[in-house]
Chains A and B, each alone.
Chain A
Amino acid sequence: MNITQQIVNGLVLGSGYACIALGWTILLGVARLVNFAHGQLYMLGAFVTWFAMTKAALPYPLAILAAIVTLAIVGVLMQSVMMGLVMTQNLTSLMIVTLGLGYVLQGGSALLFGGNPQTLPGTLSRAKVDLGTLWFTWQDVLVLLATFVLYAAVWLFTKKTRFGSIIRAVAEDPKLAELFGINAKVVYLLVFVFECSAVALGAALVAPRSPILTSMGFNEVIMTFVVVVLGGIGSIGGALAAGLGLGLFIAFFGAFIAQAYTTAAAFAILLTLLVIRPAGLATK
């Protein structure tokens, strides 16, 4: 167990957490919505990628695209049925409804894809890079690079473009935004579709690392919660830093303390933080 290898592992894990959490950060921070089907959407993204590669024999980039498009459609459907609750900002019902829809996705995916564990075929995830005593795969490099590019793009988009300020206006006060001629429904729909597509991309990139099951997704949800709360709700830079930080912590905790209790350790961090700073680290 050498320290440098654990730092590499931590960055690899952390970029994965940050990548999966991006959609939720935007959804919660920018549009003030929650989605408890996030874990099941991650599962679905991974399975669509797997299906496209093994059954439809598509190359990896096209399979990623297929996952993004499928999840975008699922997002449009989900958001369309929930629009009434979204426009009235009924968070209590939204949480329960998304949980119910997540359960539907879980049952539906088990019917479609079967109950057996599958592995995503990946040439990149088998291609090892050895640097002396250090090692990682090209898939890890891809995840790290994609995460940085995505976060930079999203940050520029929400902070520097007119559409970014429109989204923030809708989150602040949907009724008022409509008075200024903004169609709040379309904005909410686009943000939700972005969340679904982002988690599909995250799943297609991260899932090749481990076997996939239709019952998975809980672990990813907890890590997403921790990243979003740790980073300060809605802070894009904060989420990236929190993702990498959490990855490093988990890598060291798993290597030196207990591999089986990594989720519990992440949860302990979340609880400690909530007691010290209830509104998150990045707030003033």
Chain B
Amino acid sequence: MTAIGSSSSMAKPLLRATGVVLLTAMAFLLPRLLGGTSIAYSTLTTIAIFAVMCYGVDIVLSYLGEVSLGHTLFWAAGGYAAANLSVKYELNGWATALAAIAICIAAATFLGAVTLRTREFVFSLVTYAAAVVAYEIAFNWDAIGGSDGVVGISALTLPFGFATYSGGTQEDLWPIAFILLLLTLIFIARFRRSRLGITALMVQMNPALATSLGIDQQKVRLAVFVISAPVTGLAGWLYAYQRAYVGPDMFETYFLVMMLTAVVLVGRRILLGPLIGVGILITQQNLLSLGGDWNKIILGSVLAVVLIFWPTGLVGLFSRFGKNATSAVREAANKFK
């Protein structure tokens, strides 16, 4: 159920690779298949960006089992880096992305190192406090935008030496968001099989075993937290270009609740889980919206209900129903024998 390395499809690597390539191509053409309107492009771009944002939290929550409530800080840091560097210094997309990654790694290293020797909930508490404090600083510090934020961020430019890709419209931004999402998925898939990923899972599932194998749990926690930060940061970086505006609203609880809900909704430790979760939640908010306050109630309730009643997420729910259905069919078949 945890779906780490589904071994059944490994038997036919060529078939599997073809399937992945086909699915990827279909996903890339999805906005065109949905009519190619600018709303289709902007909604799917938003889903891709938010999914990347959620994968940062996914790394910490699913594989390490810790709760980071500070990823809005990295999300905003990415956005603020893109906004300030592109507006004030007219740097291109590569430079702002590098800066976003560097800032996120520095912030995560600092927070992780400070909370290294504390108990688990103190880590959550400090990350939560860090995001609130960063909000206060962003709101009051006029040099990086202050309470008005940074307006008029120019189109994202990515020079390739011979040519420059420019993401001026939602349609132009879609390929960039898609590639970012794809790279993130590859990163997560590799992380799951990496030494660090496996060690993190061991620390979560069986801390005693990890210690007896000579694993320094604090170091593993710090390393996983640090690599998770730039993932969310890069999502914030692209979000800044998509909205052409960055302000203190990037610290809103909405993003935090969104990240956590998307990760737990489908089920933890499932590669595509956060992406599908974000897809469901954004579709509800864009197409079946009941207004801002009601959407808050829905999002918060989904988060609470899933964790209280179906801790394994929708996947766990379906497999439970699936099991019931199969056993019911079997019983019925036995009766007819």
Binding partners A and B: yes
Taking A92-B67, A99-B257 as known contacts, 6 extra A-B pairs with beta carbons closer than 8 A to each other, sorted by chain A number, are A81-B304, A96-B67, A99-B256, A103-B296, A229-B122, A279-B118
Q: Which of B94-148 touch A at CB < 8 Å?
A: 114-115, 117-122, 124-126, 128-130, 132-133, 135-137, 140
Is B321 an interface position by the 8 A CB rule?
no
Given known contacts A91-B121, A96-B67, A103-B253, A108 and B297 CB-to-CB distance under 8 angstroms:
yes
Q: Which residues of B contact A3 (CB under 8 A)?
A: none
**Residue numbers in B under 8 Å from A279 (CB-CB):** 118-119
* B165 is an interface residue with CB less than 8 A from chain A: no
**5 residue pairs bridging A and B, Cβ less than 8 Å apart:** A34-B125, A93-B308, A100-B307, A103-B300, A264-B137
Provide the residues of chain A in CB contact with B296, threshold 8 Å. 103-104, 106-107, 110
CA distance A264 to B131 in the complex (A): 10
Residues from 66 to 96 in A contacting B, C-beta threshold 8 Å: 81-82, 84-85, 91-93, 95-96
Q: Which of the residues A34, A107, A221, A264 comes within 8 Å of B121, measured between beta carbons?
A: A34
**Contact yes or no, B307 A103, CB < 8 A:** no
- What residues of A have a CB within 8 angstroms of the CB of B117 in the complex? 274, 278
B140 and A97: CB pair below 8 A?
no
| Interfacial chain B residues near A263, Cβ < 8 Å | 132-133, 136
Pick the residue among A92, A97, A274, A275 that contacts B304 (CB under 8 A): A97
Q: Answer whether residue B331 sits at the interface, using C-beta atoms and an 8 A cutoff.
A: no
Task: Determine whether A194 belongs to the interface, using a CB cutoff of 8 Å to chain B.
Answer: no
State how many angstroms separate the Cβ of B273 from the closest Cβ of chain A: 15
Contact between chains at A267 and B140 (CB < 8 Å): no
B136 & A100 in contact (Cβ 8 Å cutoff): no
Closest to A81 in B: B308
Is A260 engaged at the interface, CB distance under 8 Å to the other chain? Answer: yes
Q: Which residues from chain A sit less than 8 Å from chain B, CB to CB?
A: 34, 36, 81-82, 84-85, 91-93, 95-97, 99-104, 106-108, 110-111, 218-219, 221-222, 225-226, 229, 260-261, 263-264, 267, 270-271, 274-275, 278-279
Contact of A264 among B66, B114, B136, B253 (CB under 8 A): B136
Which residues of chain A are within 8 angstroms of B295 by Cβ–Cβ distance? 107
Report the separation of the CA atoms of residues A255 and B148 in the bound assembly, to the nearest whole angstrom: 25
Contact A100 B301 (CB under 8 A): yes
**Does B65 interact with chain A (Cβ within 8 Å)?**
yes
Q: Is B173 interfacial (CB 8 A cutoff)?
A: no
CA A248 – CA B258 in complex, angstroms? 37
Which of B122, B136, B297 makes the CB contact (< 8 A) with A104? B297
Chain B residues with Cβ below 8 Å from A101 are 300, 304
A278 and B118 form a contact (CB under 8 A): yes
> Complex formed: what's the CA distance from A36 to B122 in Å?
12
Chain A nearest Cβ from B161, distance in angstroms: 43
Contact A274 to B114, CB < 8 A, known contacts A100-B261, A100-B301, A264-B137? yes
